[in-house]
Amino acid sequence: MRLARILIENFRVFGAKNEGKNLDLPIQPGLNLLAGENESGKTAVTDALRLILGTTSLDFMRVTEDDFHKSLGGTAIEFTIYCRFEDLSDDEAARFLEWLSLEDINPVLELTLRANRTDRRNKKGISIPFIEYMTSSGPNGTGRALDGSIRSFLWLTYLKPLRDAEMEMAAGKGSRLSQLLISHPALRGQEVESEMPTVESGKPPSPPETLRGIMAIAEKWIQQSPAIKKAKEQLNKDYLENLSVGANTLAGEIAITRRADLKSILEKLELWLKSGDQEIERTRHGLGINNVLFMAAELLLLNESIETGLPLLVIEEPEAHLHPQLQIKLMEFLEEKTQGDATVQVIVTTHSPNLASKAKIENITLMASGCAYPLV
């Protein structure tokens, strides 16, 4: 399944269709480069996609008064965002069956987000501005509305401009790295416990087969540590026993976590760049190289999880913090990962002439003053 077209009317810089100021943008398979000056509409396109599809990072976006197009005639009372998806596989057609349209017996998924500004009066008769919006399927949004269970299959992957890649790859609750890893096919089955393999004479012991098993063994070894044992015994003997009432003696236990599930294990991991093959202490790298590491990790997940989500990556200003040679290398990398049999689509917005000069002409759309000019 691929995004084939996006139509935007009365959203931010894009105006009304009857005035010829709306956006009608075809999206190519593979790589799409939106190049243009500030305020040309590039960010409006990416934000429109985030609003109608949602993102894998679950960043919250809501429609505000500023999203409605403003002109000399005033502020629009309605805006629409339309996305069209083509080339659905049999599994995808079955998944979206209740929301599909048919064109020449080919299944097509059409989505329309329609937002309206209205006024509602409270009990005192005071008019209060209110915004309501909904995403529906079918031509012109006349089909069934999208529900929560199906929306997760349409989330795109979004990399914001001037992102803190080092923070994104750091350990922590709900970390982006844990989200990437838990969705990777290689991690399937890692949530079950496994025993320590039998130790063969003269060979070093091997770890358990699963991450959950490794964590369970590590927890047992930590609990057997003389230091932990001594601290626990002192806690129980000198404090908890003295606070016990009756026959129920209070006793504490020290463990790694209350529930060492796969998610909590992955949240303890972080991704960082190794300096060659040398076993040296971890070095803090610059913003640019960490940015490349982050983009590579996101592309890894997209390529490995095509059947479980929307293989669409939106990157704003990937040239941030990258020197010109690395910008060119990045463009070559993105083209390689999105050409041929690859089903991943990438939409890149940029100001960089270096990126634009390296992209193929058919992949470039020039943006200027709310207008789009595909170079094909």
Q: What residues form DSSP beta bridges with 157?
A: 313
Burial of residue 317 (number of CB atoms within 10 Å: 0-12, 13-18, 19+)? buried
Candidates 131, 78, 87; CA nearest to 106 is: 87
Whether pLDDT at 308 is above 70? no
Whether pLDDT at 162 is above 70? no
Residue 199 forms part of a structural domain: no
pLDDT of residue 277: 58
Residue 41 forms part of a structural domain: yes
pLDDT of residue 173: 83
Domain match, 68 and 170 both: yes
Band of pLDDT at residue 306, cut at 50, 70 and 90 = low
SS3 240: helix
- Could you give the strand order of the β-sheet that contains 31-36, starting from the edge strand earlier in sequence? 157-159, 312-316, 345-350, 31-36, 364-368, 371-374
Say which residue the tokens 């470039």 belong to. 364
For a pLDDT cut of 70, what percent of the chain falls above it?
91
Domain match, 285 and 368 both: yes
pLDDT tens, position by position, 173-208: 878 788 778 877 788 888 888 877 777 777 877 888
Domain match, 95 and 174 both: yes
pLDDT of residue 248: 79
Better-predicted residue by pLDDT, 25 or 216: 25
Report the mean per-residue pLDDT for the chain.
Answer: 85
Band of pLDDT at residue 307, cut at 50, 70 and 90 = low
Better-predicted residue by pLDDT, 244 or 112: 112
Domain match, 17 and 92 both: yes
Residue 194 forms part of a structural domain: no
Report the 10 Å Cβ neighbour count for 190.
19
Domain match, 37 and 148 both: yes
Residue 291 forms part of a structural domain: yes
DSSP per-residue codes, 260-294: --HHHHHTT-------TT------PPPHHHHHHHH
Lowest mean pLDDT among 141-150, 190-199, 300-309: 300-309
Domain match, 230 and 144 both: no
Domain match, 67 and 165 both: yes
Residue 132 forms part of a structural domain: yes
Whether pLDDT at 40 is above 90? yes
Whether pLDDT at 71 is above 80? yes
Domain match, 226 and 364 both: no
Domain match, 103 and 222 both: no
pLDDT of residue 342: 60
pLDDT tens, position by position, 241-274: 888 777 778 888 888 765 668 888 888 888 776 7
Domain, as residue range, for 234 = 211-260
Domain match, 61 and 136 both: yes
Band of pLDDT at residue 295, cut at 50, 70 and 90 = confident
Better-predicted residue by pLDDT, 239 or 306: 239
SS3 83: strand
Average pLDDT score over residue span 333-341: 79
Whether pLDDT at 2 is above 90? yes
**In the listed set 260, 278, 296, which residue is the last one of a domain according to the structure?**
260
pTM confidence score: 0.80
Candidates 174, 157, 177; CA nearest to 166 is: 177
Domain match, 237 and 142 both: no
SS3 244: coil
pLDDT of residue 58: 72
pLDDT tens, position by position, 207-231: 888 888 888 888 888 888 999 899 9
Instruction: Identify the CATH number of the domain in which residue 167 sits.
Output: 3.40.50.300
* Total structural domains within the chain: 2
Average pLDDT score over residue span 281-300: 70
